[in-house]
Amino acid sequence: MSIYIELFLTFFIIGMFTIGGGYAMLSLIQNEVVTVHGWLTDTAFTDIVAISQMTPGPIGINSATYVGYEVLARAGASEFMSILGSFTATFAVVLPSFIIVLLLCKVYERWKDHHIFKGVLNGLKPATLGLIGTAAISLATPENFIDWKSYVICIVAFIALYLKKIGPFAIIGLGALAGLLIY
Amino acid sequence: MISLWKIFSVFAKIGAFTIGGGIPMIAAIKSELVERKWLNDEDFIDIITLAQTAPGLFAVNISILTGHRLRGTKGSVVATIGSCLPPFLIILLVAMFFTSFKDNEYVIKAFKGIRPVVVALIGVPMIDMLRATKMNWWKWIVVISSMILVCFLSVSPIYILICVIVMAVFISWHNNKKIREKKI
């Protein structure tokens, strides 16, 4: 029982202090799960990150679910108890931002026409766009762009998406197909 | 009124089919929510901004904010469960049965094709949002300087957000004071 409480508290704190999305969360998870609690080894954690990036969904949710499962499974718990572990970690990681963002919704609806709130939102908009641009640039690494064909795929996808010729779901499927055919 | 089941299923679709985490999800969220007329362009940018600034995961925050806009607290709960449930189930399946799938030859090949696509999935909505925002000189400065600071000087985004909030509070307070003084 105590492991579930510990898992809950650990992921609750991780969820509360994550600012800047999934990748920021990964370093917090690594610190807590590998260094502080010693629940997983570094290699096990690296594998979990790789799989979290390769499966659909937010990376923070994927890795919390996986870590919750593995921590229990490695401690010798049954399948059912391990699933309960993954549920605990996922629930705990979502809960703090759920409470905070729900309060933010109330603030937004109450104050959205106030001049200071408007000013802050107006200032944050371009900063958010800048941070989103940063995410695109930080993914343009040699690991993700292995040769000239990668650039062709990226440019074709860019044009197709920009001209609304194709939806975002279909483009991921076509990217996978291109990878299978070319490489 | 939009039914809770509809909200759940739209967010479940977004959660089940977007690879590469929260920010690449923007394209899918935009095509599902804005083109469905659940949100207009301006609401969408407000929600993206609040989701990015609040603590927690971007995709989850978007679900909470959009759900709330559509159906209040109930909408938030349903949208959040919708976007988390499919990834949760998929990861459980992988953890239980397919631990070796990341070393599979075909999976590796497919991902060589997906990774460059993800960059386009982030870039295109960013351009769309830039066009929907009424840009002026200082907004361009904020966009470009935050990109340079985070990308090339490795400044944490938290400091940029805090700086912007403090400056915006001061500037809007100052402008408002000037307007009031003119009226008197």
Q: How many domains does chain A have?
A: 2
Q: What's the pTM value of the predicted model, to 2 decimals? A: 0.83
Q: What are phi and psi of B65, to 5 degrees?
A: -65, -45
List, in sequence order, the alpha helices (H) in chain A: 2-16, 22-30, 42-54, 59-74, 79-111, 115-139, 148-162, 168-182
Q: Could you say which of A104, A122, A152 is where a domain stops?
A: A104
From the number of C-beta atoms within 10 Å of its C-beta (0-12, 13-18, 19+), residue B5 rates as: exposed
Instruction: Let me know if residue A120 belongs to a domain.
Output: no
Q: Do B129 and B141 reside in the same domain of the chain?
A: no
Name residues whose C-beta falls within 8 Å of residue A122's C-beta, 6 or more positions apart in sequence: B168
Query: How far is A118 from A78, CA to CA, in rounded Å?
Result: 52
Residue A81, pLDDT score = 93
Domain of residue B98: give its range: 4-133
Q: Do A18 and A86 reside in the same domain of the chain?
A: yes
Q: How many domains does chain B have?
A: 2
Instruction: Let me know if residue A123 belongs to a domain.
Output: no
- Amino acid letter at B94? V
Q: Do A13 and A87 reside in the same domain of the chain?
A: yes
B115 has a chain A CB within 8 A of its CB = yes
Q: Do B98 and B60 reside in the same domain of the chain?
A: yes
**Mean pLDDT of successive 10-residue stretches along chain A, which has 183 residues:** 90 84 77 88 83 84 92 89 94 93 89 86 87 81 87 92 84 89 89
Q: Do B87 and B150 reside in the same domain of the chain?
A: no
Give me A86's structure tokens. Answer: 């993954």
A1 has a chain B CB within 8 A of its CB = no
Name residues whose C-beta falls within 8 Å of residue A126's C-beta, 6 or more positions apart in sequence: B133, B135, B139, B140, B142, B143, B146
Instruction: Let me know if residue A75 belongs to a domain.
Output: yes
Domain of residue A160: give its range: 133-183
Q: What is the pLDDT of residues B48-78, one digit of tens each?
A: 999 888 888 888 999 999 999 999 999 999 9
Is there a contact between A182 and B112 if contact means CB atoms under 8 Å apart? yes
Q: Which of A12, A72, A84, A132 to mutate to test the interface with B (most CBs of B within 10 A)?
A: A132
Residues 43-102 of A with CB under 8 A from B: 47, 50-62, 65-66, 69-70, 73, 79, 82-83, 86-87, 90, 93-94, 96-98, 100-102
Q: What is the pLDDT of residues B118-157, one digit of tens each?
A: 888 888 888 888 888 888 888 999 999 998 998 888 887 7
